[in-house]
Structure 1
Amino acid sequence: MEEYGYDGSQHAAQDDSLLGTGLTTRHIEAFGRKVTSTANHLMGPAATADAHYQTALTEIHRELRRPTAQRRLFALAQTSPTDLVRSKLSTAEIQSRALSSLPDDLLANIPADNSSYSLFQGFQATLPEPEYDEKSHRRRSSKHQKLLDGTAPTKALPSSKGGLQAERSKLNRRLDMMGVRKNMCSAEIHEIDSKIANLNNMRKIVLDRLAGLELDEGELETKIVDLDTKIEDMEDEEEMVTAQATPKSEADEPSDPALDASFMSESIYQKLPSHSPRGRKMRSIRKKSMPILHEHFEPGTAIKEIPAHNDIITALDFDYPFGTMVSAALDDTVRVWDLHEGRCAGFLEGHHASVRCLQVEDNIVATGSMDASIRIWDLSRAQHVEPTSRIDKPTNIEETEDGELNDSSPPLSSHSSSNLEDCELFSLEAHVDEVTALHFRGNTLISGSSDKTLRQWDLVKGRCVQTLDVLWAAAQASTSIPTGPSTTWRPTGRQADASADFVGAVQCFDAALACGTADGIIRLWDLRSGQVHRSLVGHTGPITCLQFDDVHLVTGSLDRSIRIWDLRTGSIHDAYAYDNPITSMMFDSRRIVCAAGESVAKVYDKTDGHHWDCGAGAGEASTSSIVEHVRVKDGYLTEGRKDGIIGVWTC
């Protein structure tokens, strides 16, 4: 049926009953044929004109003698197309027909009917069957069996032939209906599979759309960071011009220059002032939104594999999924990576030896090195310029069709040009041996060193404000009398492992500090008093990693175990044993991930208690190298291996 315009510009369509007039298409066609034949006869040859004319007039008069037809014809001639439509279809009916119409794409995707049964048979199969008394059926079966065995009374006669035939026909009908139901279930399963396939295709499309949105989001965030940096630089220049215009008074000079030049104080608990960083300011830029693309991948899905270094990876960390990662290795390089594109963004150059520990928080990076120094970097100071081809995509990294990365040449040289030269804020130098562990939160940084001390640093002033001697605390604990739980001030008499780092891991929060050392003891310090508040004894090997939240403290050790402590009681909440020493561990809200001397990362799901492997060595036999370090945030896992490769996974 054609659509009608209310402006009367379109012709009225023909219907079986013309819009309430009672005239059908057949009547109009007959009338038209009669008019045409009348004209033909009138304009035809003269010899036959009279006969044809009379016949035509007779037929016309016969039609016109019907008063009902006359009234309908005249009413149709005087009615406009708009009135015709309105007289037949109301506005609500027109809207209903427009909404109920199916588009062609939906009609094209109607699943094919593969059922071998008719629609009526399917309807019959859905009808409820007469109740089938299973008990009476079993009684009849047992009675028939007794009759066959001859154990039944002689007065019990078998059922008649007609009854048995009726029972057989009833069972045959049930059997046929079961076949129909099976066919219907099979067709429904095929339909569900088809829907699942269509939904998977739709999911891929939406995932691609989400990836594009997150890419655009990252570009906008970068532009905002650039603008913020330019605004702060302009403010710094204005302050510098103002400061130069103001004469410098003698009160601004340092009162005791000897303190600034001192390297170590006489007392290990004396605060050690040092030069404050001038002309440098830490910028903390928090992203307004976090990527969520990886949350929709299956656990254990490989995202990227990056040939990052030429030697064993010693430390790595990243700020957020698909964000910025910093890695260090025994090849004496510290590299910054764009996890979204899988490319090296530059190098952090300044240390004179390999970096053993690092932390990334927003745009601030802290690195601790074997040269006994700690350096603070601000990645927001990097000039966002077009990097060279050697930085943008290293020659050893080539993307394949499936998005993976292949190694075709040696990794980047540490002497390549870098756009991160201005990122260093200042250097913290007070330790006398290599820095093996560090952690900062806000403006406070805690570092642990092989010189058997912990140091507290003020990142605003850039100086050490407190030194904690671990050996002195251990000696005090061994001579104290236990006054609390069995794990408090418990003397162990245990000697530290010389091959392990003396300070394996630290973490701080406000005035609380947790420290794990080579004697297998976790010490909880109060930074306000500089004293050990509690010692947790349980591990039999050096502590290599630890992390705590509001309730629990999770520790990993070379004794091949991970222990979960209850911070409220100081007791062990749970423990897990592995086949090899634990070298790295981290947990998020749902899972605990650790490196346990295998080619995979060991994952423990805290919600369902499930242990599983994630990495290139999972499943089939693999030649992947041993995983040394792991970091996980919001199900986004990065793992660094002994061969210098970094893998990115979902877990």
Structure 2
Amino acid sequence: MDKHRRDESPSGLSDIVEQDGLLGTGLTTRHIEAFGRKVTTTANHLMGPAAESTSGTHYHNALVDIQRELRRPNAQRKVFSLTQTTPTDLVRSKLSTAEIQSRAISSLPDDLLANIPDSSSSYSLFEGFQASQDDHEYRKVHRRRASKSKKALKDGETRGALPSAPSELKKERDVLNHRLELMGVRKNMCSSEIHEIDTKIANLHNMRRIVLDRLAGLEMEEADLEHEVNGLDQKLEDLQEEQPETPTATTPKSSAVNDDSVGSDDPAMDASFMSESIYQKIPSPKSVKQRSIRKRSMPVLHEHFAPGSQIKEMPAHNDIVTAIDFDFPFGTMVSAALDDTVRVWDLNVGRCTGFLEGHNASVRCLQIEDNIVATGSMDASVKLWDLSRARSVTRDGRLTKPEGEEDSADDAHEMFHSTTLEDCHVFSLDAHVDEVTALHFRGNTLISGSADKTLRQWDLVKGRCVQTLDVLWAAAQADTLGGDSQWRPSGRMPDASADFVGALQCFDAALACGTADGMVRLWDLRSGQVHRSLVGHTGPVTCLQFDDVHLVTGSMDRSIRIWDLRTGSIFDAYAYDHPITSMMFDAKRIVAAAGENVVKVYDKGEGHHWDCGAGVGADEQGPSPATVERVRLKDGFLVEGRKDGIVSAWTC
């Protein structure tokens, strides 16, 4: 009982600690206090206002005392035993709460201590501090001595300067030699610090690579999840469309061609002049809008790579790539080439998921927006495709099971990552009489340009041509009215193989079109008239793109021109060594295919040019990469197609 009361009193705690030792280690509070006094005395001698002659002696004596104490095996065992005390033992001890918290916070596991890099410096922290401190003192003495020398020099000019005494010269030499030694200490410490920084940078690079791999895995998983969510959304839409049907209906389930059809009460179903309503073939504007918001998050992996880094390389075709487009980074890409194939790609894994078959000749132009693809071919037709109708295929060629039937575990293992695009075709727009070389659609309006020298406006809801624009007639009208059109059939077409309609883009009622005469015409679709003609190119216009302020055009005259849409004048222009075959821009950069094996990049913000692609730094002895023919750029994600059929993705 007396012992219990003695334990609760402060004096009893002190007695136990002093008699039994701290936590059974033999290290008492007196030892700790003595060690603390030595450290305090050492610090006071190092940093206090001690005399210059005695500071080195006190520092040396303090270090000798500490080293002599640490050489004793008994003291070393006591210190190591104290540092290895676990927080559990601290809680069970009778120390104060503040001391327990302090030791628990300062306790580090062995796995963290193992990652501490070894210091390559041969000097201690105190020696480094002394070197810096003495250097500071030297600077003050040197400035004071310099002022005295200047004063003595002025006096010596009048009465003759006397040589310095040998003792003073020796003293100054000793000071300089000591300063050289201190410089060596500081240099060694700087080198050690640089080595530690390099080690940290290497560790950070490894950590960054690990996190990048983790981000790539997350984005692949995210893409799979969103694909499943989209499939469930489509099934829910199909169920909602089947609900108005009567229970007694015995008609078989509609095929995939009629999946997006509207109800039978649609007025277009009663049209006697049509064998099948166009509403049964193309999604309504409402369904297209829903697909546009299904992408819940955008990939950001490419934003963390250095500009010019290659992401994917795909041997896509066996001939020259004529057109490519993709919806968003790491999304879906569609490519076409002179091998008469149109392929759909999953950019996330770099794999072809199927073919768009239906054209009788090569596709010259295409565009993908959400799940809708428009292709223009040399067979004078424009076809629309809905990629949301694609179906998965098993390894043995069977289609996925109908709705309501579950796949067994064996079937799940037999699933092969492939799709069939047979049911993706929506309809064909057949009105041109020559090959389609350019197209662009936005919303329910599609504009196509052909070698028959006409532009046609299509209503995608009704599926028919609503307006035909004759480029030659517009040029003749402008010339008759004294306009700025400069059409010269004899001299303004330097390349007879150039497309008559090289590029076009529409937005609401505005249409920009570049033609083989080097003109860029801005049309008003409401009136069907040319609102303005931009004169400047001396060769066929092959590509163009505009936003709300600027219009950028590329031509076979090897130049890229930036126009101000508000004034119609040239805002900026630059040229390359070869004709421009393709061009696109985003918020930061303009990329172009200019007859080389690299993509030419122009940074609009910084105003400098650089190259991107497989041709950068290529070995002259090895085979050179093929010439880049087509480029597409969105959100810093660049896709380029070459003459040998290879398609690559890069960060830009």
Common topology (TM > 0.5): yes
Match of 1:65 in 2: none
- What is the one-letter code of the residue matched to 1:281? P
Which residues of 2 match residues 72-151 of structure 1 at below 5 A?
88-90=95-97, 93-127=99-133, 128-129=136-137, 130-131=139-140, 137=146
RMSD: 3.6
Match of 2:585 among 581, 584, 587: 587
Distance 1:515 1:502 in 2: 10
Distance 1:254 1:530 in 2: 29
Match of 1:171 among 161, 169, 176: 176
1:528-583 CA-partner distances (Å, limit 9, x unpaired): 11111111111110010011111111110000011111111111111111010000
Deviation at 1:204, TM superposition (A): 1.0
1:156 aligns with 2:169: no
Match of 2:333 in 1: 325
Distance 1:443 1:281 in 2: 10
Check the 8 A contact 2:475/2:487 in 1, yes or no: no
Q: Work out which of the two has the higher radius of gyration on C-alpha atoms and give 1 or 2.
A: 1
Quick one: structure 1 residues 302 and 113, their matched pair in 2 at CA, closer, same or farther if it must change by over 3 Å? Answer: same
Deviation at 1:239, TM superposition (A): 5.4
Match of 1:303 in 2: 311
Match of 1:380 in 2: 388
1:200 aligns with 2:208: no
Match of 1:366 among 351, 367, 374: 374
Deviation at 1:234, TM superposition (A): 2.8
Deviation at 1:169, TM superposition (A): 2.0
Which residues of 2 match residues 131-280 of structure 1 at below 5 A?
131=140, 137=146, 155-238=160-243, 253-254=270-271, 257=273, 276-280=278-282
1:210-247 CA-partner distances (Å, limit 9, x unpaired): 01110110011110111122222333444566998999
Distance 1:495 1:642 in 2: 27
Distance 2:23 2:375 in 1: 94
Match of 1:43 in 2: none
Check the 8 A contact 1:503/1:518 in 2, yes or no: yes
Match of 1:528 among 526, 529, 549: 526
Which residues of 2 match residues 536-575 of structure 1 at below 5 A?
536-575=534-573
Deviation at 1:161, TM superposition (A): 1.1
- What is the one-letter code of the residue matched to 2:492? Q
Match of 1:357 in 2: 365
Q: Secondary structure at the match of 2:391?
A: coil
Distance 2:474 2:513 in 1: 12
Check the 8 A contact 1:431/1:449 in 2, yes or no: yes
Distance 1:583 1:548 in 2: 17
Deviation at 1:99, TM superposition (A): 2.6
Quick one: structure 1 residues 458 and 20, their matched pair in 2 at CA, closer, same or farther if it must change by over 3 Å? Answer: farther
- What is the one-letter code of the residue matched to 1:230? K
Check the 8 A contact 2:390/2:419 in 1, yes or no: no
Match of 2:409 in 1: none
Distance 1:184 1:82 in 2: 39
Match of 1:443 in 2: 444
Match of 2:422 in 1: 421
Check the 8 A contact 1:347/1:418 in 2, yes or no: no
- What is the one-letter code of the residue matched to 1:99? I
Quick one: structure 1 residues 142 and 322, their matched pair in 2 at CA, closer, same or farther if it must change by over 3 Å? Answer: farther
Quick one: structure 1 residues 306 and 19, their matched pair in 2 at CA, closer, same or farther if it must change by over 3 Å? Answer: farther
Q: Normalising by structure 1, what TM-score?
A: 0.75
Distance 1:83 1:121 in 2: 35
- Structure 2's unaligned 5+ residue stretches are 25-87, 252-262, 400-417
Quick one: structure 1 residues 455 and 143, their matched pair in 2 at CA, closer, same or farther if it must change by over 3 Å? Answer: farther
- What is the one-letter code of the residue matched to 1:217? E
Match of 2:297 among 281, 289, 312: 289
Deviation at 1:137, TM superposition (A): 4.5
- Structure 1's unaligned 5+ residue stretches are 1-7, 30-80, 262-273, 392-416, 483-488
Quick one: structure 1 residues 242 and 568, their matched pair in 2 at CA, closer, same or farther if it must change by over 3 Å? Answer: farther
The structure whose residues are more often helix, as a share, is 2
1:317-376 CA-partner distances (Å, limit 9, x unpaired): 111111111111111110111111111100001111110000011111100001111111
Identity fraction in percent: 65
Match of 2:84 in 1: none
Check the 8 A contact 1:20/1:88 in 2, yes or no: no
1:574-603 CA-partner distances (Å, limit 9, x unpaired): 111101000001111111111001111111
1:85-139 CA-partner distances (Å, limit 9, x unpaired): 586322x543443233222222112221211223332011222233265797599
Distance 1:554 1:118 in 2: 63
Check the 8 A contact 2:314/2:646 in 1, yes or no: yes
Distance 1:605 1:298 in 2: 15
Q: Secondary structure at the match of 1:210?
A: helix
Match of 1:25 in 2: 20
Distance 2:593 2:343 in 1: 22
Match of 1:406 in 2: none
Distance 1:177 1:384 in 2: 74
Distance 2:574 2:198 in 1: 41
Distance 1:460 1:490 in 2: 35
Check the 8 A contact 2:390/2:423 in 1, yes or no: yes
Deviation at 1:384, TM superposition (A): 2.9
Q: Secondary structure at the match of 2:543?
A: strand
Check the 8 A contact 1:19/1:84 in 2, yes or no: no
Q: Secondary structure at the match of 2:105?
A: helix
Deviation at 1:613, TM superposition (A): 1.1
1:383-404 CA-partner distances (Å, limit 9, x unpaired): 134466999xxxxxxxxxxxxx
Q: Secondary structure at the match of 1:478?
A: helix
Q: Normalising by structure 2, what TM-score?
A: 0.75
